Amino acid sequence: MYILKIIMSIVARTLNHMMRPRVNLINIQSIAKTNINRHINGVNIESLTGSKFKPRLFDVSLRDGLQPIKRIYTLDEKKELLDTIITKYNPESIEIGSVVNPKIVPQMANSLKLYEYVIEHGLDKDRNIYILTPTLKSLLESKIYGVRNFSFISSVSNTFQLKNMKRSLSETKCEINQMFDKITNNDNVKLYLSCVNECPISGIQTNEHIINEFMHYYVRYRHHLTDICISDTCGTLSYHDFKYIIKELVTKYGVLPEDISIHLHLSTQPEDVINLKRILWWMSHYDIKKIDISCMNGSGGCHVTLDESKMKANLSYDILNSIDID
């Protein structure tokens, strides 16, 4: 009788587990099966001294690097900077600007003119040239110029979206869905996911919330995305949280490492550099190679939402090249 009770108890627990609703769970096996044969071509660029880690560099100097600088760069100055980036650093991809309201971000007013220069001189032949298009209107305008590589932007914070984009997170998701409807097989899209893991307005965002927001886009649009970029807007993402987020995405939810990219902000303080080294180590561990970079030392960041005193610079070539993660 005692053994029978034990068996009945085990059967009951098993049935109970099987009948639990799978709320908000991702079909991991489906994603993993779909991703098996996917491959993103790219040139691995060895930048870390003495390291086997070979990051695929996405240069944001002309967009995020210039964005907070008050002095407006002329078109000729941007052409010169672009030529320098190509000849000196030769990154795999370059984001040359954004199509936004010039009254709000005057630094970006000539981005599409710069794109015309790219096409005229064939600078897109050996690398990917991106334009950030935060709205459906800007996407359609860029397509008129022949742009085929786009950066979309969202975040994990509703308050950030309201201040930065003047629309809620729900409204942003709706518009991004409309934008993906305009994307063809000849287009590439990188999606920035800002405020990982802190919003400059509403504070710390939980890792679980960040993962859910990442998967919201990944499940819906992974066939049209080159990558979703985990963006450390405030420069406060610790390697502990980074490790947890990446481990969950890759091992639990079946996200391919090549579908993840990283956008970091940091100071030159020792604690920031040590944290960076550990983040890079975990990137290497999970075979994540895509990382944003800038040659604008000491510059970068969202000046619309961050006080100047709290802004941290983009990860620079100089800092990246000084680190050995072995």
Identify the pLDDT of residue 18: 40
* Domain residue extents for the chain: 44-321
Q: How far apart are CA 50 and CA 27, in angstroms?
A: 40
| Strand pairing class (56-59; 290-293) | parallel
Identify the pLDDT of residue 308: 64
Identify the pLDDT of residue 300: 75
| Strand pairing class (260-263; 290-293) | parallel
Identify the pLDDT of residue 324: 81
Q: How far apart are CA 263 and CA 242, in angstroms?
A: 12
44-321, CATH topology level: TIM Barrel (3.20.20)
Identify the pLDDT of residue 304: 57
Find, among 299, 310, 153, the residue nearest to 234 by Cα. Answer: 310
Find, among 71, 87, 53, the residue nearest to 326 by Cα. Answer: 53
pLDDT along the chain (326 residues), means of 10: 44 41 35 33 37 88 92 97 98 98 93 98 97 98 98 96 92 98 97 95 96 98 97 95 98 98 94 95 97 90 62 91 81
Q: How far apart are CA 326 and CA 49, in angstroms?
A: 9
Identify the pLDDT of residue 51: 59
Q: Model-level pTM greater than 0.75? A: yes
